[in-house]
């Protein structure tokens, strides 16, 4: 019991105390969440008419963000594969951070779907016994299962590993490795199922092509790791956690390959529609050149193409990849590019033109933007707080039974040796750790 109380004591201490920038950040996020909550209250009060959605374009910013964030959740798997399959040391140390990012992204996904519903209080209709889920025919049901499953797997693995580190017990490979290995196809699964959501609709020829499945995977493997790269550099700066440059560069390499694939697949899709020249080319035309004078998305998609291409080149050339300034620039460009291409640039053209040939454009209104920012704030808050706990556990600053401050070298060197001995002796005295044989 004492240990549990001590754990919660340490937890609260870690969450509340931090450098001033930490307070500023948390306050900023709370303000964002507050604004988002207020905007959502307006939406609940007046109905979805406060959004820019219409019968013609019935999905918009919320579902676009949801699609993008499911891609970000791939950040975890891109770290797990080199870490555990290829045993690449520098990345193995940082997989947990990737998993936490994935968990935050998945929370945001679920929130975006919830705010998009007309009756969010009726979500329990989706649950198996109390409601009537239309399983297995509906892909939203599958999506919920895979997303929640992946969330649980990530949280489970992260909690287990961090917990074992915290309790200073050795990790049991047989407990967590099966889940780690499961999470690789499962991560492919969440992107595939999200792509199937759109793919399975014969009514929308823009989505009804098989190529969107590999495109989703490719753009997922770009956006998630790009955010991770930036996040890791921030973590390296603000905490004592060590992230080696090799890890970042390896991730950048994989992003480059993924972006290359994404561009090739995009080219294939555009070629197919433009060359075949049937009526189904209308959404692509709307996206890239405008249709019958409607061209709201044209400049955004070209910006996105530019960002993607530039980022691809920056990631590809070794000199720019290794230069931190260009690396970060490329990451930002990729996030912007993929968000435009996979978020709004994917959802809206699916509805233009409508199955009966109408062309109506969509632009998000203030309420939608504020709610999206609020959810983004929530996700970042979760990420920050989770890291505030995870990183001290990783570096050794937070351990069961006492938190001796860690030196600059971490647990290495003479001081670390003495500290470890001290902790062990304390444990033996308190009869918590068995006497090592």
Partner 1 sequence: MIKFNTWKKQIPFILMCLIYTGAFIDVSAAQKEPEVKTVYPVPPPAHKEREAEEVFPVVPPFVIRGLFPCQACHRKGIRKESREIDRNNLFFGKYFKSPNLKPRILSRMHVNIKLQHGEFQWCLNCHATDERNYLKLINGDIISLVESYRLCGQCHGLIYRDWKSGIHGRRVGQWNGKKLYLLCVHCHDPHSPKFRKIMPKDPPRRPNYGRWESVNSIK
Partner 2 sequence: MRKKESNGVSRRTFLKASGAASAVLALGGCGFREKFFSSNDTLKEFIQRNFKEMSPEEIEEVRQRLLKQYKKKYGRDFVLGTEPPFPNVVFAYGLDLSRCIGCRRCVYACVQENNQSRRPEIQWIRVLRFKKGSMNFEESDHYYDPRMVPEEGYYYMPVQCQQCENPPCVKVCPTKATWKDSDGIVVIDYNWCIGCRYCMAACPYWARRFNFAEPEIPIKEINRNLHYLGNRPRMRGVVEKCTFCVQRTRRGRYPACVEVCPVGARKFGNILDPKSEISQVIERQRVFRLKEDLNTQSRFYYFFSI
CB of 359 to partner 1, least distance (A): 6
CB of 280 to partner 2, least distance (A): 11
Exactly one of 171, 245, 246, 358 binds partner 2 (CB under 8 A); that residue is 358
CB of 102 to partner 2, least distance (A): 23
294 binds, among partner 1, partner 2, none (CB under 5 to 8 A by kind): partner 1
Sign, CA torsion 298/300/306/311:
negative
What's the number of CA atoms in the CB half-sphere (13 Å) around residue 163?
A: 11
128/138 Cα distance (integer angstroms): 13
108: helix, coil or strand?
helix
Exactly one of 48, 230, 313, 359 binds partner 1 (CB under 8 A); that residue is 359
Report the site for partner 1 in 13-52 (rule: CB under 8 A): 52
74/203 Cα distance (integer angstroms): 29
Helices (H), 341-412: 345-351, 366-395
CB of 54 to partner 1, least distance (A): 4
Question: Cα–Cα distances in Å, from 106 out to 102, 210, 373?
Answer: 6, 24, 16
365 binds, among partner 1, partner 2, none (CB under 5 to 8 A by kind): partner 1
CB of 355 to partner 2, least distance (A): 5
CB of 363 to partner 2, least distance (A): 16
Range in contact with partner 2 (rule: CB under 8 A) among 20-28, 128-136, 172-180, 187-195? 128-136
The residues facing 291 across adjacent strands are 294
165/400 Cα distance (integer angstroms): 9
Q: Is 292 one of the binding residues for partner 1 (CB under 8 A)?
A: yes
Exactly one of 15, 35, 37, 56 binds partner 2 (CB under 8 A); that residue is 56
Range in contact with partner 2 (rule: CB under 8 A) among 134-142, 251-259, 332-340, 384-392? 134-142
87 binds, among partner 1, partner 2, none (CB under 5 to 8 A by kind): none
116 binds, among partner 1, partner 2, none (CB under 5 to 8 A by kind): partner 2
Q: With residue 16 as reference, give the H or E element that holds it.
A: helix 2-16
Q: Is 246 one of the binding residues for partner 2 (CB under 8 A)?
A: no
Q: Is 46 one of the binding residues for partner 2 (CB under 8 A)?
A: yes
Q: Is 148 one of the binding residues for partner 2 (CB under 8 A)?
A: no
Q: Is 110 one of the binding residues for partner 1 (CB under 8 A)?
A: no
CB of 366 to partner 1, least distance (A): 9
366/153 Cα distance (integer angstroms): 36
Q: Find out whether 106 and 154 touch, Cβ atoms under 8 Å.
A: yes
94/88 Cα distance (integer angstroms): 11
55: helix, coil or strand?
coil
203 binds, among partner 1, partner 2, none (CB under 5 to 8 A by kind): partner 2
The residues near 249 (Cβ < 8 Å, ≥ 6 apart) are 321, 322
Nearer to partner 2, 55 or 277 (CB): 55
* Token pair of 227 as six digits: 């955010």
For 276, counting Cβ atoms within 10 Å of its Cβ (0-12 exposed, 13-18 middle, 19+ buried), the class is: exposed
Instruction: Give, to the nearest 10 degrees, the angle between helix 245-276 and helix 298-316.
Output: 140
Q: Is 202 one of the binding residues for partner 2 (CB under 8 A)?
A: yes
Question: Cα–Cα distances in Å, from 179 out to 101, 106, 147, 172, 174?
Answer: 17, 17, 15, 12, 9
Q: Is 360 one of the binding residues for partner 1 (CB under 8 A)?
A: yes
266 binds, among partner 1, partner 2, none (CB under 5 to 8 A by kind): none
126 binds, among partner 1, partner 2, none (CB under 5 to 8 A by kind): partner 2
* Token pair of 252 as six digits: 């950048």
CB of 361 to partner 1, least distance (A): 5
356 binds, among partner 2, partner 1, none (CB under 5 to 8 A by kind): partner 2
The residues near 49 (Cβ < 8 Å, ≥ 6 apart) are none
Largest CA distance in the chain: 80
The residues facing 410 across adjacent strands are 407
Exactly one of 120, 267, 402, 413 binds partner 2 (CB under 8 A); that residue is 120
Q: Tokens 């704030």 map to which residue? A: 377
**Chain residues that interact with partner 2, rule: CB under 8 A:** 46-49, 51, 53-56, 58-59, 113, 116-123, 125-126, 131-134, 137-141, 144, 197, 200-204, 279, 282, 350-351, 353-359
**Chain residues that interact with partner 1, rule: CB under 8 A:** 52, 54-56, 292-294, 296, 358-361, 363, 365
């Amino acid at each position: 019991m004492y240990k549990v109380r001590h754990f919660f004591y340490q937890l609260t201490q870690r969450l509340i105390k931090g450098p001033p920038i930490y307070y500023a950040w948390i306050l900023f996020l709370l303000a964002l969440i507050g604004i988002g909550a207020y905007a959502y209250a307006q939406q609940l009060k007046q109905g979805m008419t406060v959004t820019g959605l219409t019968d013609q374009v019935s999905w918009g910013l919320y579902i676009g963000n949801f699609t993008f964030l499911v891609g970000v959740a791939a950040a975890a798997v891109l770290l797990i594969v080199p870490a555990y399959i290829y045993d690449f040391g520098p990345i193995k140390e940082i997989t947990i951070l990737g998993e936490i990012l994935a968990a935050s992204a998945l929370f945001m996904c679920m929130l975006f779907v919830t705010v998009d519903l007309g009756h969010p209080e009726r979500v329990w209709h989706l649950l198996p016994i109390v409601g009537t889920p239309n399983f297995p025919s509906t892909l939203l049901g599958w999506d919920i299962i895979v997303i929640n499953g992946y969330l649980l797997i990530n949280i489970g693995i992260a909690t287990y590993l961090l917990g074992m580190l915290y309790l200073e017990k050795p990790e049991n490979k047989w407990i967590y490795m099966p889940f780690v290995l499961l999470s690789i196809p499962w991560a492919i699964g969440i992107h595939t199922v999200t792509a199937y959501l759109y793919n399975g609709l014969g009514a929308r020829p823009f989505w009804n092509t098989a190529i969107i499945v590999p495109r989703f995977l490719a753009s997922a493997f770009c956006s998630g790791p790009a955010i991770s790269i930036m996040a890791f550099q921030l973590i390296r700066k603000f905490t004592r956690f060590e992230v080696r440059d090799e890890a970042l560069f390896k991730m950048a390499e994989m992003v480059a390959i993924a972006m290359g694939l994404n561009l090739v697949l995009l080219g294939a899709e555009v070629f197919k529609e433009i060359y075949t020249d049937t009526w189904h080319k209308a959404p692509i035309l709307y996206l890239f050149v405008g249709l019958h004078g409607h061209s709201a998305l044209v400049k955004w998609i070209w910006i996105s193409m530019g960002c993607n291409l530039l980022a691809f080149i920056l990631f590809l050339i070794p000199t720019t990849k290794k230069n931190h300034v260009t690396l970060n620039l490329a990451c930002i460009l990729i996030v912007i590019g993929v968000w435009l291409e996979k978020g709004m640039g994917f959802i809206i053209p699916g509805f233009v033109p409508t199955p009966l040939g109408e062309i109506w454009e969509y632009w998000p209104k203030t309420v939608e933007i504020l709610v999206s920012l609020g959810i983004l704030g929530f996700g970042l808050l979760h990420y920050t707080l989770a890291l505030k706990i995870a990183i001290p556990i990783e570096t050794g600053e937070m351990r069961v039974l006492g938190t001796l401050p860690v030196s600059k070298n971490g647990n290495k060197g003479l001081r670390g040796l003495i500290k470890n001995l001290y902790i062990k002796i304390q444990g033996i005295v308190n009869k918590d750790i068995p006497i090592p044989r």
